[in-house]
């Protein structure tokens, strides 16, 4: 069975189906993280006198490194897609692998951050700020993990796709890229909100 509009544009939406699909999914993710951001606001404003100084509980240099890592992974992701567009499969593999490596590095550093928090006896149950901090960064981390999984699948199967249907592979990588940029976008807002203000 042939799945329609994986490469060709749908006549009514003028997008290939996967692209519309991922944007709809990202819209739902905006609401998911938006709900958590508004939860943060409610918790903090509701307890403004008692709220801990966030920068004293967290490791800003480590998080800054993580921010740079994630932004770089976004660039390598879009370069991977551009390489496929330019039919440079070797470059695509390099950039795509770099994206995955950077994502894993992000998770490893996050692991060290969490370990440091736990070693200071700072747990989600300690106070409201730590609760929302672990929840939001944990949810974000799960999103990164999922992205790593999907990207690994594509890295492994890319050569076969490239030989049989390169345009569809390019579109799949574009879709994976859109998801990845969104995860980066969430972190761009999460970093100042949880660490810096």
User: Cβ 86 to another protein, closest distance in Å?
Assistant: 6
110 contacts 142 by C-beta, under 8 angstroms: no
Give the span between the Cα atoms of 78 and 186, in whole angstroms: 17
- CB under 8 A, 24+ apart: contacts of 44-51: 44/129, 47/128, 51/128, 51/129
| 131 touches another protein (CB under 8 A) | no
16 contacts 9 by C-beta, under 8 angstroms: yes
| 93 touches another protein (CB under 8 A) | no
Q: Which stretch binds another protein (CB under 8 A): 34-42, 105-113, 123-131, 153-161?
A: 34-42
Measured torsion, CA atoms of residues 188, 69, 119, 117, in degrees rounded to the nearest 10:
0
| 184 touches another protein (CB under 8 A) | yes
When the beta carbons of 148 and 190 are compared against another protein, the nearer one is 190
Number of residues that bind another protein (CB under 8 A): 46
| 31 touches another protein (CB under 8 A) | yes
Other Cβ atoms less than 10 A from the Cβ of 52: the count is 15
Give the span between the Cα atoms of 188 and 168, in whole angstroms: 30
User: Which of 45, 49, 56, 115 is in the footprint of another protein by CB under 8 A?
Assistant: 45
Query: DSSP label at 29?
Result: H
User: Cβ 152 to another protein, closest distance in Å?
Assistant: 21
Site of interaction with another protein (CB under 8 A) = 13-15, 19-20, 23-24, 27, 30-31, 34-35, 37-38, 41-42, 45-46, 55, 60, 64, 67-68, 71-72, 74-75, 77-79, 82, 85-86, 177-178, 181-182, 184-185, 188-189, 191-193, 196-197
């Amino acid at each position: 069975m042939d799945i329609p509009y994986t490469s060709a544009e749908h006549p009514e939406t003028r997008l290939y189906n996967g692209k519309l699909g991922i944007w709809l999914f990202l819209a739902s993710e905006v609401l998911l993280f938006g709900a958590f951001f508004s939860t943060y606001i409610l918790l903090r404003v509701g307890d403004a006198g008692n709220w801990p100084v966030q920068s004293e509980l967290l490791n800003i240099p480590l998080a800054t490194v993580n921010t740079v890592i994630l932004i770089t992974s976004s660039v390598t992701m879009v370069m991977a897609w551009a390489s496929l567009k330019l039919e440079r499969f070797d470059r695509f593999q390099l950039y795509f692998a770099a994206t995955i490596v950077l994502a894993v590095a992000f998770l490893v550093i996050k692991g060290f951050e969490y370990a440091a928090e736990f070693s200071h006896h700072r747990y989600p149950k300690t106070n409201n700020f730590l609760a929302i901090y672990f929840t939001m960064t944990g949810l974000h981390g799960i999103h990164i993990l999922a992205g790593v999984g999907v990207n690994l699948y594509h890295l492994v199967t890319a050569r076969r796709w490239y030989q049989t249907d390169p345009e569809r592979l390019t579109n799949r990588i574009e879709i994976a890229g859109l998801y990845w940029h969104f995860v980066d976008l969430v972190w761009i807002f999460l970093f100042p909100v949880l660490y810096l203000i």
